[in-house]
Structure 1
């Protein structure tokens, strides 16, 4: 069942979404080689608590941490651990918060230091594909229009589009209907109506689209060991143009100011 939100509920949802953005921005300020993802998890948990909110992921179906940290060939749901991050790593930081009765949930991928140009391009294209999907997130379109836009944008570059994992509706529950795949045909799927709120999240692999889940039951990795990138925004369906509830601006500002992070993909053409 799809739950449409009132304008008042959307305002509350935006508070939660922007708190996620602020949390990821805090991580962007200090992220560097040598830190562990355990440390990032602790920083995020404390920051969320200071804002009188609760981490959405903690204890969700038994998940034991505040955030997920997926490094290199980890697609999503990576466990924080005590392995120091290294120069050349890429890391997807996915954060959820619960505040005022509603969840926010989105993700961002960072590059630590120098990497192969192919990785820079993968990060850029995946991020751009998220916005291609958001362009389709308007009244009268269908879920398949979002999915197809993301799929075509990435497959035109030869990337593997993960099919087993999807975006989702968002609200009082972190995962609501409908599912939002990153692949599909135009004009298919559920009709998009005003004040439907979606978490749109392309998960794109440098090589094969195929994945597997590790023994921890959570961490999803690429079968060929090649890099994967994940970006996610919280989006409210509106007429003519989607309302993006989350905000990458503070994250990007912190990313560009942090000399340990590589944001040169912004200049790639």
Structure 2
């Protein structure tokens, strides 16, 4: 069952989404050489407390931290600690969430630590982010879930990888519904498979966390002994981008983007829905 939200509920999710955006801004600024991933977690905790919001990652299935910090070959679910010290040239994906009055926000971004990153890493992050926006632009009334998956995959497949080869679209993880829980139906693949069919039709009130994960090599992953940290099986580096999005009568509203997605969607010829918070 897909949880369909009312306009008032979407407004509350927008509040949670803006808290997530604030966490992103603060942790991005703190992701500098010499900082530990636990330093970033403490920054996130402070921002959540300042906004009167609760973390939705902490304690989720036993997860021990406020955010996920995934460095280099870690795809998702990296656990912040004092041992992982960020170095110049690292790539880090930060996944953060917030709960406001029982409603969830969830988003992730990839940041570059320091300077002098290889062009292939810059392009990897760009391709991953742009594929997310292609998926968001496909959130239109009358489309089906598979249209979002197709838009993400099509964008990635059409991008030439510097140095040759193909990008790996991570197969074991994908997006999801979001609302009164962080992870809800439906599961959103970042590629198309006939076995999954077309999926549900997109209607106003449909909310999704759209999150492509892309590597410089394999689409396959393995989970480390901590039962959380997910790495690529070939050790290639990866990127992870995510936004929570609500579909309204007036189009998509990117709940976790400061401007609601207006600027980026305009580039794609899509009009974002008005912000319910003004």
Q: TM-score, length-normalised on structure 1?
A: 0.89
Cα deviation 1:196-251 (Å, max 9, x = unaligned): 1100000111111111101100010001111110000111123573111111669x
* 1:73 to 2:73 alignment: yes
- Other structure's SS at 2:106 match: strand
Measure, in 2, the Cα distance between the counterparts of 1:126 and 1:28. Answer: 17
* 1:90 to 2:91 alignment: yes
- Cα RMSD between the aligned structures? 1.6
For structure 1, which runs of at least 5 residues remain unmatched after alignment?
A: 251-269
* 1:172 to 2:180 alignment: yes
Cα deviation 1:120-155 (Å, max 9, x = unaligned): 110111111111111111111011111011112112
In the TM superposition, residue 80 of structure 1 has moved relative to its aligned partner by 0.6
**Correspondences of 1:9-158 after superposition (within 5 Å):** 9-82=9-82, 83-112=84-113, 113-157=115-159, 158=166
- Other structure's SS at 2:25 match: helix
Measure, in 2, the Cα distance between the counterparts of 1:233 and 1:161. Answer: 17
Sort the Cα spacing of 1:53 and 1:19 in 2 relative to 1 into closer, same or farther, 3 A.
Answer: same
User: Which residue is equivalent to 2:214?
Assistant: 204
Measure, in 1, the Cα distance between the counterparts of 2:43 and 2:259. Answer: 20
In the TM superposition, residue 99 of structure 1 has moved relative to its aligned partner by 1.0
For structure 2, which runs of at least 5 residues remain unmatched after alignment?
A: 160-165, 261-278
* 1:214 to 2:224 alignment: yes
The count of corresponding residues between Structure 1 and Structure 2 is 250
User: Which residue is equivalent to 1:226?
Assistant: 236
Which of residues 251, 254, 261 in structure 2 aligns to 1:244?
Answer: 254
In the TM superposition, residue 46 of structure 1 has moved relative to its aligned partner by 1.7
Cα deviation 1:173-196 (Å, max 9, x = unaligned): 111111111011698121111111
In the TM superposition, residue 114 of structure 1 has moved relative to its aligned partner by 1.4
